Chain A
Amino acid sequence: MLSRTADHLYWMARYTERAENTVRMLDVSYRMSLLPGANGGDTESWSAILDISELSGAFARTGRPLSACDVIEFVVLDRDNPSSVWNCLRAARENAHAVRGTLTAEMWETTNATWLEIREMTPQKLRATDLGEFFEWVKFRSHLLRGVTFGTMLHDEAFKFVRLGTFLERADNTARLLDVKYHSLLPKAEGLTSSTDFYQWGALLRSVSAFETYRHVYRDVITPYKVAELLILNADMPRSLHACLDEINGILGEIASIHSAEAARQAGELHATLHYGRMDDIFDAGLHPWLERFLVRINRLGDSIGENFLVPVAA
């Protein structure tokens, strides 16, 4: 298939996944801020949100105070913030439009309808909206597109590039979330004595839809070590790094060509780290450095996929 077509499909999926994960993060912070004793104005968790997406500088330049309302508006709606949910959904729709003929009618209509609805969203309207409901809506539009894609699109090469975009973005987003949240929570987390800590870790799990999963897998109290293990090494947990790399590695094997050896090598290497890695080793090396290194490698893999498949250099 045309590289340009693959590129649009891949980015359609990445932007949709990014929008979903952005509201997942917002949702957890928003819920935490509502907890008793969290005194809603806790600036730390809002600056953490900005750190995750590397937006602290951009936010500071707006001159807005670090309040829940301002951060949410900036992350959800700001036209000048290229990673805002608004811009992600616009970009997803623009990519879909460019390859309209490759999508099924349902996929196109889902993406287009999502955009047409959020296009009308303004800060005034957002303030008048139940935020929890709004975050749910964004998540479910993403669920819907993924489901419609799975259920209507021919599972050919085009489909694989959609999936590749989804899992590459998700691996990146889960790693960022874990990195930032883990650090903001850890100092207080020794032994998890306070109930606030319990809720905080619970909220982190909920943000990746893994609260019940944790209970089911560990049948144990929530400990930071196990949360990290679940989100990094558990291959059955659909938002874990291991699960994402399983998908990415598998897809790259299926779409391999003589030009894609480098992407395949990097994915295989990263996959092996997760497949054969042990949590103790990760902790011994330090979780933060490990995650930072992971983010560098996943971004490098994204670059290689771009070079090997999407925008081949003119011969």
Chain B
Amino acid sequence: MNAAKPFDEMHAADGTIRTHYQPYSEWLGHTPRELIARKRKEADLAFHRVGITFNVYGADGGKERLIPFDLLPRIIPGDEWRTLEAGLRQRVRALNAFLADIYHGQEILRAGRIPADQVLDNAQFRPEMKGVHVPGGLYAMIAGIDLVRAAGADGKGDYYVLEDNLRVPSGVSYLLENRKMMMRLFPDLFSRYDVQPVEHYPDLLLETLRAVAPAGVLDPTAVLLTPGAFNSAYFEHSFLAQQMGIELVEGQDLFVEDDTVFMRTTQGPRRVDVIYRRLDDDFLDPEVFRRDSMLGVPGLMSAYRAGRVTLANAVGTGVADDKSIYPYVPEMVRFYLGEEPILNNVPTWMLREPDDLAYTLAHLPELVVKEVHGAGGYGMLVGPAATKAEIEEFRQRILAAPEKYIAQPTLSLSTCPTFVDAGIAPRHIDLRPFVLSGGREIRMVPGGLTRVALKAGSLVVNSSQGGGTKDTWVVG
């Protein structure tokens, strides 16, 4: 894990082009830059149009947020992807087994493989879910696993799981839109590569949702539950509902009677069997969770616990993707599957442990420290980018409550060439594959969403902080 020199996806250490990028490099060599500039404009315009057509409008009307799209694809060789795919399957299987276990027998706690208080005292652990049977024993039907790649000792790039997203992972609509755009702009490139298709994701998702319907329902009705038009991911909600041909509902469209969920339609109440909810646990049911939630459905939890409706993802998955639980995922793989983990975790110091705390405090300028139970980069220290004062301030916060923090080495994410104003330059990237569990199989479309930090040197790929996206090709 060499922090100094990031792994370059396109160029080997000696400057030669990696095999899987060679056809692209040749194409780039004889394609005039003016053409690419023109295509870039075309893409901006087209996305703007899609934005106008689909995107969220604020109260002032007419303003949409677009995530920058980079034309240079991120290419992953097929054999590399097959390893990742096997690793993702294994990891998600273990995470689902963990969730089923902690809400039932709690074997892993009794075996002492994870300290019980880490799980049971976690704010994301939902006692309401204890003993509740969920179809197929599945909790995280839709998982977004964030992968990063860092240079290994041998110059190879090693993948690491940075984070598991098991609540309401988003971004898949960009994956699909990006592919559509690339095929439209550069059809000739697709004749040079055997790019594995991703367009069937909505079909896989719909099959997944139908597969986890309550037992005995022959022709299940699935709906997508959105917080509403002012949610930042509303574009994705309406896009996916439309692609799957299911109703996009808000809480007010649903009601519960005799532990059965109905939607209000022009032809009267219609039963709903599966809810793909893009709404956090806290807002689902004002009778059980936040009482002030106007977005949820009163009585939903009661119907859910009675097994009359399936929620995807299940309630209470947050305990498995919490940063305090993350270090134990490899242990879950060993415990439930009896296998060695295929995917690496980023080495993590848990500051509740005195040794880890001492090490971390001594190395703060080179580490990343994250707050557990926190999502979205709140309460985070990036040592190498922080000032002395910031580090000292954070040190005090850690000392006040060490159990609230974990620390990791600062990973130098791999870079991929990216079109920037000055031409083409390396920019840091990550990868979020979307893993679907329903029925017997775990499935995913090849690749995932590649996010790119468009600012030079930046490691932050979040769209809210100057991140963009790339099309991701799995080839061969």
Report which A residues bind B (CB closer than 8 A). Answer: 1-4, 6, 93, 97-98, 100-101, 105, 108-109, 112, 115-116, 119, 157, 161, 255, 257-259, 309-312, 314-315
Which residue in A4, A116, A257, A258 is a CB contact (below 8 Å) of B264?
A: A4
Q: Are A100 and B238 touching (Cβ within 8 A)?
A: yes
A314 surroundings in chain B (CB, below 8 A): 255, 264
A1-B61 contact in complex given A101-B241, A101-B248, A105-B53, C-beta closer than 8 Å: no
Q: Answer yes or no: B250 CB below 8 A from chain A CBs.
A: yes
**B252 at interface (Cβ–Cβ under 8 A)?**
yes
Give the residue of B52, B61, B266 whose beta carbon is less than 8 angstroms from that of A309. B266
Give Cα distance in the complex from A115 to B60, angstroms: 12
Which of B's residues lie within 8 Å of A, judged by CB?
Answer: 52-54, 57, 61-62, 229, 238, 241-242, 247-250, 252-253, 255, 257, 262-269
A315 with B255, Cβ < 8 A, contacts A116-B61, A157-B266 known: yes
Q: Compute how far the CA of A2 lies from the CA of B250 in the bound complex, rounded to whole angstroms.
A: 10
Whole-angstrom distance between the alpha carbons of A258 and B347 in the complex?
63
| Contact sample, A vs B, 15 pairs, CB 8 Å cutoff | A2-B247, A2-B253, A3-B264, A4-B264, A93-B61, A98-B229, A100-B53, A100-B238, A101-B248, A105-B53, A116-B62, A312-B264, A312-B268, A314-B264, A315-B257
- Cβ contact within 8 Å between A2 and B229: no
- Enumerate chain B residues within 8 angstroms of A258, measured Cβ to Cβ: 268
- B267 pairs with A257, CB closer than 8 A: yes
Given contacts A3-B264, A6-B266, A312-B268, 5 further A-B contacts (CB under 8 A): A3-B266, A97-B229, A157-B266, A314-B255, A315-B255
Q: In the complex, which residues of chain A have a beta carbon less than 8 angstroms from the beta carbon of B263? A: 2
Q: How far is the CA of A69 from the CA of B247 in the complex (A)?
A: 47
Bound Cα distance A101, B53 (Å)? 9
**Cα separation A105 to B46 with both chains bound (whole Å):** 14
Known: A2-B253, A4-B250, A315-B257. A100 touches B54 (CB 8 A): yes
Q: Which residues of A contact B248 (CB under 8 A)?
A: 101
Closest to B237 in A: A101
User: For A115, what are the chain B residues with a Cβ–Cβ distance below 8 Å?
Assistant: 61
**Quick check: A3 and B253 within 8 Å, CB to CB?**
yes
A47 to B169, CA, bound (A): 58
- The prevalent SS among residues of B at the interface is mixed
Q: Which residues of A contact B62 (CB under 8 A)?
A: 112, 116
Q: Would you call A4 and B269 a contact (CB within 8 A)? A: no
Query: Once the chains are docked, how many angstroms separate the CA of A105 from the CA of B50?
Result: 10
Q: Which 10 A-B pairs have the closest CB atoms?
A: A257-B267, A3-B264, A101-B238, A309-B266, A6-B266, A314-B255, A259-B268, A315-B257, A101-B242, A312-B264
Contacts A116-B62, A257-B268, A315-B257 given: A4-B262 contact, CB under 8 Å? no
Our pick among A1, A97, A101, A309 for the contact of B57 (Cβ within 8 Å) is A97
| Contact status B266-A161, CB under 8 Å | yes
Give Cα A161–Cα B266 distance, bound, in whole angstroms: 10
Give complex CA distance A105, B52 in Å. 9
A108 touches B53 (CB 8 A): yes
Given A100-B238, A258-B268: A4 in contact with B252 (beta carbons within 8 A): yes
Report yes or no: B229 in contact with A119, Cβ–Cβ below 8 A: no
Q: Give the CA-CA distance A20 to B464 in the complex, in Å.
A: 42
CB proximity of B322 to chain A, nearest CB, Å: 34
C-alpha gap A31/B268 in the complex (Å): 48
Chain A residues, CB < 8 A from B238? 100-101
- Quick one: closest A residue to B57, CB to CB? A97
Contacts of A257 in B (CB 8 A): 266-268
Residue in A255, A258, A259 whose Cβ sees the most chain B Cβ within 10 Å: A259
Chain B residues closer than 8 Å to A3, beta-carbon distance: 253, 264-266
* A218, chain B: closest CB distance, angstroms: 41
A233 to B48, CA, bound (A): 49
Contacts of A98 in B (CB 8 A): 229
Point out the residues of chain B lying under 8 angstroms from A311, CB to CB.
264
CA distance A101 to B234 in the complex (A): 11
Chain A residues closer than 8 Å to B61, beta-carbon distance: 93, 115-116, 119
Bound complex: CA of A311 vs CA of B253, how far in Å? 9
Which B-chain residue is minimally distant from A158 (CB atoms)? B266
**In the complex, A243→B266 CA distance in Å?**
25
Query: Which residue of B is nearest A3, CB measured?
Result: B264
Q: Which of B62, B247, B253, B268 has the most CB of A within 10 A?
A: B268
Q: A101-B238, A115-B61, A116-B62 are in contact. Are A1 and B255 (CB under 8 A)?
A: no
Q: How far apart are the CA atoms of A112 and B53 in the complex, in Å?
A: 10
Q: Which of A105, A112, A116, A310 contacts B266 (CB 8 A)?
A: A310
User: Do the beta carbons of A315 and B253 come within 8 Å of each other?
Assistant: no
In the complex the two chains form, what is the Cα distance from A310 to B268 in whole Å?
A: 10
The answer, among B250, B252, B262, B265, for a CB contact under 8 Å with A1, is B265
B257 — which chain A residues lie within 8 A by C-beta?
A: 315
Q: Give Cα distance in the complex from A312 to B269, angstroms.
A: 9
**In contact, B253 and A4 (Cβ under 8 angstroms):** yes
Complex Cα distance A100/B269, Å? 23
Q: Whole-angstrom distance between the alpha carbons of A24 and B298 in the complex?
A: 46
Question: Among the interface residues B61, B253, B255, which one has the most CB atoms of the partner chain A within 10 A?
Answer: B61
Q: B262 — nearest CB in chain A belongs to which residue?
A: A315
List chain B residues, Cβ under 8 A from A112: 52, 62
Q: Report A245 CB to chain B, min CB distance, Å.
A: 21
Inter-chain CA distance A314–B262, complex, in Å, is 10
**Cα-based distance from A108 to B51 in the complex (angstroms):** 12
A119 to B, closest residue via Cβ:
B61
Residue of A nearest to B229 (CB): A98
Quote the shortest CB–CB distance from A304 to chain B (angstroms): 13
A7: nearest chain-B partner, CB-CB: B266
A109 to B255, CA, bound (A): 33
